Amino acid sequence: MLHSNCAKIEINFAVLCVEKQHCCEQVTRFARADKNHKQMKNMLYQLLLPAVLLFISACSSDSGTGAIIVEWEQDSCRRCNMILSDQFHAAQIRHKPADGPSEVYIFDDIGCAVVWLEDRAWKDDPATELWVNEHKTGNWIDARKAFYVTGHQTPMQYGLGAQLEAAPGSVGFETAREYIFKMDRYLHPHSTH
């Protein structure tokens, strides 16, 4: 009986050793597969990461200069908090602080932009950009190079439409700026401008 029990133990031990060896081989195969999988993942990340970063940077709406894309019916005027809806009379100011990226402020009317800018220490900084919608096309144009015509129905009643070309009765930016302050005193008698 002892001999048969020993035989059973030897057989069971042999089976365990075979199973252990089989398990070790399986574990080794899985480890190799996992290592290969990790290597493939790392290689994929190394190939895709630059492409993804390039795509993200290309899709960025802010290049650091120029006008940004406005979310009409969602963005609000920095000065009066009115929602921007008029795509032919809005304005933007881009300020470039010395210690960081540029900041863009949006306005529903060139009048709001000019009056708001007046209270900023950096209002005369040549790096400060001022953009306005061209009243015929809605394209963003440099507000300081634009010509302005009166008689427009604008969101805050300053009444100026900007355009690229001079026209009879149009004025340059500095004259338009003076007109805006005059209108602001009329529209807002308690204003400090």
d(CA 87, CA 162): 12
Q: Which residues pair with 165 in a beta bridge?
A: none
Chain segment 33-71, per-residue pLDDT in tens: 666 667 666 665 566 555 544 444 445 555 789 999 999
Chain segment 99-135, per-residue pLDDT in tens: 889 999 999 999 999 999 999 999 999 999 999 999 9
Q: Are 143 and 118 in contact (CB under 8 A)?
A: no
Chain segment 77-90, per-residue pLDDT in tens: 999 999 999 999 99
The domain locations on the chain are: 1-60, 91-187
93: which residues sit within 8 A by CB, 6+ positions away? 104, 105, 107, 113, 116, 117, 128, 129, 130, 131
Question: Residue 58: what pLDDT?
Answer: 46
Q: 26-31: long-range contacts at Cβ-Cβ below 8 A with a sequence spacing of 24 or more?
A: none
- In this prediction the pTM is 0.66
